[in-house]
Amino acid sequence: MLLPTVGDASIRMVAVSDDNLVIGAAAITRSVRSKPPIGPGVALHVIPTWRRRGIGSALLNRLKQQALDTPTEAFYALQKIAAGTEEEIGWRWLGFKPLETVVYHELALAAIESRLTPLYDWMRQKGAIPDDAAIIALCDSDRESVADLHLSELGGNRSLLLRKMHGEGPEPYHPLYSRVLVVSGTVKGCILAHRESKQVAVVDANILAPDVRGGWANLWLKLEATRGAMKLGIERFIYSTFDHYADTRAFSEMLGGVETRRMLLMHCLLDGSGDAVE
């Protein structure tokens, strides 16, 4: 009850008062961020009347001790934090600092389809798209290979990813408008999304292998995912970008995308530079 949905957590623990009241809880995700500094997500909460007594710090330090047996460079706050809030102050008190700003966008699919279709047709005419390349629905793909790509480029937890790819668990990926790029039989990209409502889908991951980035693959994958979603009545995509996603942010602005909110990705290095405050 105290923590957000953690999924298949690797570690869970609670703090209990002398009269056996649960006053705090913490957990570490099995999913790990692959981009350095490498590390899992952390969820932590202390009930308001027991804050500023070192309980959060004690829970965090216990999590650090438990994580020593794994290649962990940092902890990440599992949920993104709104800047300037008491929640941000609380994480800073525990030694966390902002790593990146996460911007959430909303974009009409009709704008994507109308803009990308002429570019796709031009690339086809120029022979820029390999003959052995294909984009297929997630349900028709080798989902183990899709999970491999996700783990190598974005990190995560294999068992949780595979469950979502098979339509299980919270916010499972839609099997039809989640699309996979295959070149010469090898998975080279994917867009994974789940349906939020009848008209809106949330893009959870947009991944391309390094050797196909920056050209035809990115354009074609976006276009096919858009077309697949439109056939099922989706009108808008919601997606997030980090500071290093400059191209995606420029793409969204060019197509009239709306920025809906900004949040902070908070992290704590485990080399002693982000020790919790006692």
pTM of the model: 0.78
Cα(123)–Cα(108) distance, integer angstroms: 23
pLDDT score at 120: 95
pLDDT in tens, 38-72: 899 999 999 999 988 999 999 999 998 887 667 78
With respect to residue 278, please indicate whether it lies within any of the assigned structural domains.
no
Q: Are residues 51 and 171 in the same domain?
A: no
Q: Region 232-253: what's the mean pLDDT?
A: 87
Least confident of 82-96, 139-153, 192-206, 235-249: 235-249
Q: How many structural domains compose the chain?
A: 2
Range of the domain at 82: 9-99+265-269
CA 138/CA 116 separation, integer angstroms: 21
- Examine the domain organization and report whether 41 and 116 are in the same domain: no
pLDDT of residue 33: 85
pLDDT in tens, 219-242: 999 999 999 999 999 999 999 988
Considering the domain architecture, whether residues 117 and 244 belong to the same structural domain is answered as: yes
CA–CA dist 278, 41 (Å, integer)? 22
DSSP structure string for 28-91? EEEEEE-SSSPEEEEEEEE-GGGTTSSHHHHHHHHHHHHGGGS---EEEESS-B-TTSHHHHHH
